[in-house]
Amino acid sequence: MSDANEITRPTKLYISIDNARYNISKIKEFLKDEKIEIMPVIKANGYGTYLNKRLDFLNDFNIVSVATVDEGAFLRNLGYKKDIFILNQPYSDEIDKIIENDLIVGISSDSFLEALGEKSEKIRIHIEIGTGMGRTGIHPKRIDEYIDNVLKYKNIIIDGIYTHLSSADIDIEYTKKQLDSFDYAVDRAKKRVDTIRYVHSQASTGILNFNEGKYNLVRARSYYVWNISR
């Protein structure tokens, strides 16, 4: 049985922060509006780049996203003081850690909403709209009903609304239908709520293929941040 601390490969990965910043500038060239913000996805140790440990780089952004509450807590402990968004709806037993670290959470279930509403502390959420990914998110036609449920709780702030595009790299027509469904939900939400700061749908391939500039935030995977050729 090998030692758990044994180094089995001498491979090292070197990431240039200057090049990463250059790549961010190239991503911005695809966006139609300079006011659109980039929210890098720093999950899974920055997709193996460990950009999640580079506070000097993270501070270039007003908001970053991660997959789990623990990843968000790590960034807080590192010293990142700006907004951190949890892409995947967390578990109810993580709510205290969410509050402690002032994390923004993606949400689409009624039971998790109820659990958040039982707290007295302010909690910011982004409502996830299911437009065709087929995994999570509320149906666009439920947006008014869901907002009604959110507004029952004085401690919950609707900070954003988002969706995931399943086929932005391979199916243009299907993606357009997703965006039409999302537009419906966004329009309904904005008529009901005045606290929405962020609207986002485009991940990396969405940035490249659907860059009409309709929304004010995009999610660039950290893999794309460092993997664009110079």
CATH of the domain at 185: 3.20.20.10
Mean of the per-residue pLDDT values of the chain: 88
Residue stretches of the chain with pLDDT short of 70: 1-8, 134, 213, 222-230
Model pLDDT, residue 171: 83
Model pLDDT, residue 224: 52
In a domain? residue 105? yes
Model pLDDT, residue 213: 67
With 0-12 / 13-18 / 19 or more C-beta atoms within 10 angstroms meaning exposed / middle / buried, residue 20 is buried
Q: How many domains does the chain have?
A: 1
In a domain? residue 104? yes
Model pLDDT, residue 87: 92
Model pLDDT, residue 50: 85
Max distance between CA atoms of the chain, in angstroms, equals 62
Pairwise CA distance, residues 143 & 182, whole Å: 10
Model pLDDT, residue 125: 98
One-letter amino acid at 10 equals P
Model pLDDT, residue 228: 46
Model pLDDT, residue 122: 98
Model pLDDT, residue 10: 76
In a domain? residue 206? yes
Pairwise CA distance, residues 214 & 179, whole Å: 10
The residue range of the domain holding 36 is 17-227
In a domain? residue 5? no
In a domain? residue 11? no
In a domain? residue 102? yes
In a domain? residue 156? yes
In a domain? residue 61? yes
Model pLDDT, residue 207: 78
Among 189, 118, 114, 116, which Cα is nearest to 159's? 189
From residue 203, give the alpha-carbon distance in Å to each of 25, 41, 135, 164, 192: 16, 9, 16, 8, 26
Are 161 and 192 contacting, i.e. CB atoms less than 8 angstroms apart? Answer: no
Model pLDDT, residue 230: 42
pTM here is: 0.89
